[in-house]
Structure 1
Amino acid sequence: MSGLNQLALALDHAALTRQAVAQLSDQQADFDVETAYAVQRLLVQQRLRRGARRVGMKMGFTSRAKMRQMGVDQMIWGRLTDDMRLDEGGELALDRYVHPRAEPEIVFLLKKPLAGRVSAAEAMASVEAVAGGIEIIDSRYRDFRFHLADVIADNASSSGFLVGPLQPASTDVANLGIVMRVDGRVVQAGSSAAILGHPVRSLVAAARLAAEAGEPLQPGDLVLAGAATEAVALRAGMRVSAAFQSLGAVSFQVGGAES
């Protein structure tokens, strides 16, 4: 375990210092998916020791567009902590990240525990509300290049998130139009149907994966269902917004120095 701890500490240090590191798979020949999730757990434990609190999970690579962009072929997941949450309408400090990008998400807020193999109906019965959101992804690897196990270890690249206005759980999220803008200009457009055909399928997968990891989803947890479009690289001064049919909008300003 000491070797895995060293890998987790290296990724944690890279995030804290905003200094990219070499891929872990380049340093360890047998670095596979199972090992990567073990490193991810240890990485997030470092944050918890500093006072962060677990608040849910994010699903990754849930759309063909995202798989194609990142050159992978299977769904992954990561852990969300409260220190990752950004204020809707607020400012993102660019120098807190290595090479951040933003992508629109469908967000589920849970009111009941959700664990194991469940149906779509059972998953939705555990939902308190739904919302549009934006995830900030930021690989800690040099040149934003990695293999599947690398990105899993790096908490599936999850670095921040914003949640828009909460809407009733009864809101149909099956095929919602999504438009992402930078400084008022449309840069991405898509549909929530790109998320596994229906975002609830991502929630179903989240329930199973979290339970298998021994961390079943709890009341109050947030689940980011995955991006429906490709991610947008962030630069200082940008105003980024995502508008969701039936769910409203969420936005932030990209600043420079950390506040």
Structure 2
Amino acid sequence: MTNPALQAIDIDSAALELRWAEATRKGVKPLTERFPELTINEAYAIQRANLQDRLSRGERLTGRKIGLTSLAMQQQLGVDEPDYGAITDAMEIANGAEFDPALLLQPRLEVEFAFEIGADVPISPNYDELVAAVSGVAVAIEIIDSRVVDWRIKLPDTVADNASMACVVWGEFVPATPELLAGLPDAVATLTRDGEVVSSGPGSAVLGHPLTSLHWLAGALGAQGDSFGAGDRVLAGAVAAATDFVPGASWAASADGLPSATLTSTASDHS
């Protein structure tokens, strides 16, 4: 008799399960516990199925996020390589806006550097081609969330779950001058809660340089026959471990030379 745990996963059913978890704010058991043979390719297929569902409902793809680029985040979540997910317009929160954490399952906040792409990029560009296409740099707040109960994830779990993406607050993008880009490894990004620092780290925490992270993603997308387009925005990865997104607080992400990204977490009686 075939061991059910070793049966191939049904991509559409798994995607639907994660959509249900997001809609109901009830976490599901890790896919890797039920399907130990789940591959990264299958996990990305689940992610793409849910992205296609979003697009079919009228959402627009606006960018990408890179996850698990810092040693701190890899250790926090028990994985050992980056991943990526999609960002749509429905995931974007206006800078300075209010947001209720109770709308999500178990949200956390990260401070990150972000890039804006000013021109279409060829599939799998070399490093110089990619850097030449970067038009803007910003600091951003990413709200991550896991539709898997208790953040009990392995790499295929978070990949399937859109790299644990929930929402993003973009700071204002400034021109990507050679001097600004060269200084990113030493630039320190900081997240504060009610004026108190809760996480902080240099750009070098992101694979040594946030542009290295961006180039990694260009290659990963190229392997799927995809590439960056003009206007895309990309979260390069957290510079420090995530912090719980508690209600009733004011948050700000900052870095030298970049306008701040701010967010207020409202308290509510959602259940």
The TM-score normalised by the length of structure 2 is: 0.91
1:8 corresponds in structure 2 to 15
Secondary structure at the counterpart of residue 114 of structure 1: coil
Deviation at 1:116, TM superposition (A): 3.3
Counterparts of 2:86 and 2:185 in 1: how far apart (Å)? 24
CA-to-partner distance for each residue in 1:87-141, whole Å, 9 max, x for gaps? 1111112122000001011111111112433333221110121111111100011
Does the CA-based 8 Å contact 2:113-2:189 persist in structure 1? Answer: no
Q: Tell me which of 249, 260, 264 is aligned to 1:238.
A: 249
1:157 corresponds in structure 2 to 164
Is 2:184 the partner of 1:177? Answer: no
Does the CA-based 8 Å contact 2:25-2:105 persist in structure 1? Answer: yes
Is 2:226 the partner of 1:219? Answer: no
Does the CA-based 8 Å contact 1:124-1:169 persist in structure 2? Answer: no
**Superposed structure 1 runs of 4+ greater than 4 Å apart:** none
Letter in 1 for 2:198: V
The TM-score normalised by the length of structure 1 is: 0.95
Gaps of 5+ in 1: none
Counterparts of 1:73 and 1:29 in 2: how far apart (Å)? 17
What is the number of residues matched between the two proteins?
Answer: 258
Query: Rg bigger for which structure?
Result: 2
Identity within the alignment, %: 34
Counterparts of 2:255 and 2:24 in 1: how far apart (Å)? 34
Q: Tell me which of 45, 58, 67 is aligned to 1:51.
A: 58
Is 2:136 the partner of 1:125? Answer: no
Does the CA-based 8 Å contact 2:113-2:139 persist in structure 1? Answer: yes
Letter in 2 for 1:52: E
Q: Tell me which of 30, 35, 39 is aligned to 2:42.
A: 35
1:110 corresponds in structure 2 to 117
Secondary structure at the counterpart of residue 174 of structure 1: helix
Counterparts of 1:228 and 1:150 in 2: how far apart (Å)? 22
Secondary structure at the counterpart of residue 252 of structure 2: strand
